[in-house]
Structure 1
Amino acid sequence: MNLKSIERVGVTSFPAHYSGPTLGEVGEHRAIEEIVAAAPSRRNGDDAAVLNHASPNSRAVATTDMLVEGRHFRVDWSTPEEIGRKSIVQNFADIEAMGARPIAALLAVSAPPHTPVSYLRGIAAGIHQKVEEYSAELVGGDLTSGNDLVLSVTAIGSLGGSRPELTLDRARPGQRVVAHGHIGWSAAGLALLERFGRDLRRIPEHLIPLLDAHFTPRLNPGRGVVARATGATCMTDNSDGLIVDLSTIARRSGVSIDLHSADITPPPIIYEAAEILDADPWEWVLTGGEDHTLLATTAGDPPSGFRVIGRVGRGDAVTIDGQPPRYGHGWVSF
């Protein structure tokens, strides 16, 4: 189960400590000024942003994704800064999964009029913190009134050089399956939140990294570019569940994928969370998603920052040590 399965309950109620004027009180233009102040860019502020011309033999890469309050995040669990950072990670992971470098982001926000301006500024500050890690910028967007808090981020990247992009249909038998990032941590963090809320007095301190992995999944910038440069042919990010996302690669490429159980075994921190919650840690690993782990195939050694987790073969199934996975479901929108 992942955060996207949370059902919306009631009207957005922001934490009391986000005080001060609301969006309805200050209006659109003042609110946009707050976003620009929190996430400054010399390209932002006109009708459209003009980006530097791509270098020779390069291509532009674009993606977009949405976060809906009550479905992808909860304001009583996540801080606005965490929501902003997560919105960038899930979009920039898609850019990296193509083997490209993120260079810019656009933000569209629909928010209730009673949204505190300080809350919106916190979201923009979180976005700025994360885009700076990639030497990218928030270069524009849109703001409108709505019943729910909704963020839509468009990410733009640059794909340099003559190597092909890392599409889902280019896995080949005999290749290794490699991964960069945690697997199952975000789902474990969500399960802790569902049981205890964000009451840190009830969650052992050494399990807090699981919450952090859920609030803001962590990827090292540039790993997708490195993987493409060193011979990876196919890549995706683990957003909907490990088995679901690898099944997409297997289907699109016409191959089978066999995972090594020893290489995806839940670490002790996840086993401990599962013991507290009386849960099966393997369900988080195989179905959780939202870690945005980079999953790639390559004929060579694992790229820097990646580890081997399986093999590509002939056929059309995803297995673990040659056997069907214990769990095969994941996230679907409808």
Structure 2
Amino acid sequence: MRILFIGSRLFNDVADYASSRGVTTILSESNPEAPNLELADSCFIVPRGMDAPLEIALREDVDAVVPLIGVDGPLRDVARLKTELEESYGIPVVASGEGAAEISTDKLKTKEFFMKNGIKTPAYAIIETSHEVKGFPTVLKQREGQGGSNIKVASSYTDVEEYLGSHESAIMEEYIQGVEISVEVLRWDGQTFPLVAVDKGPTSTEGIHPLGKVKRAPAVIEGFSGDEALKMASRITELLGAEGNTDVDMILSEEGILYAIEVNTRPSGTRYISEAATGINPMHSLVDMAMGDWNPNKFKRENYNAVEIPLGNPGNIESLMPEGVKWLLHGPQNHMRLTARAENREKLDLIMKRLRVI
């Protein structure tokens, strides 16, 4: 089995697993200084875009393609690559198609998709002046962007005017006070499997970046069943026709109402905590999908408590780990995160106390 992986930044998450399954790994990457290049059986440094990966896929006679792209920008090009390789050459590409990518990478189209399908989402409007704002706080967004970029929680008309000073218009969205919830959904060949509801912390008018928050899984919130989030995420993914790994972001309001916020058709930043809580590695599933060997009916979901903590550059923290806790440090230097799992939440609370997080 020969698989082309596009993008090296996340390749370390799949390299060993693919090799253990007898896969010949071929990697394409546009940055010669990118990490993980040495982990592949063969690597090609190519110009940006999908023309070169298309050429490599055909020249190297690959059996499947797995894009490992964690940003929104190239997803529409990936979707077009998927169309050409699958329809013209019969080579499966483990990624979402053009329709799903078009909606997920455009926040306005995402909101329209939610409304069209009767999915609860915060009220919104397009504004060009501050006079169109009816109340505060309110959320201002652009049609494109991720990880909190170009998003502002405005608390005054001055905030709105400053934002519109840099943007001709904005999507104005109702601010919901509550808890941010995220669910990764694996979907391939008509089968759907949601992983776990991840608690990403309370909503904030400060607009804290998701990587700067403590996350917990499964989400344990009074009056809330994680099953509700799993069902909503699965329904959204299926209606969208997304494939591979999809991340659905929601907010659970203080009144207990679940709102859909965004959907991202790419590997998720919650993949480590999702695996820690369930024992199911979403990145390994992408390899299984490419091999035609992905069957969610065979999954044995484990039920652990997991936490992910941003630490920066933590140094040696092994002595802080209680007995029976499994843990992993990941992320770039000075922006590292600790993901840990245990059979009970008390051990994880102890870690956070020792790290002075709580």
TM-score (norm 1): 0.31
Question: Which structure's relative contact order is higher, taking Cα pairs within 8 Å and 6+ residues apart?
Answer: 1
- Which has the larger strand fraction? 2
TM-score normalized by structure 2? Answer: 0.30
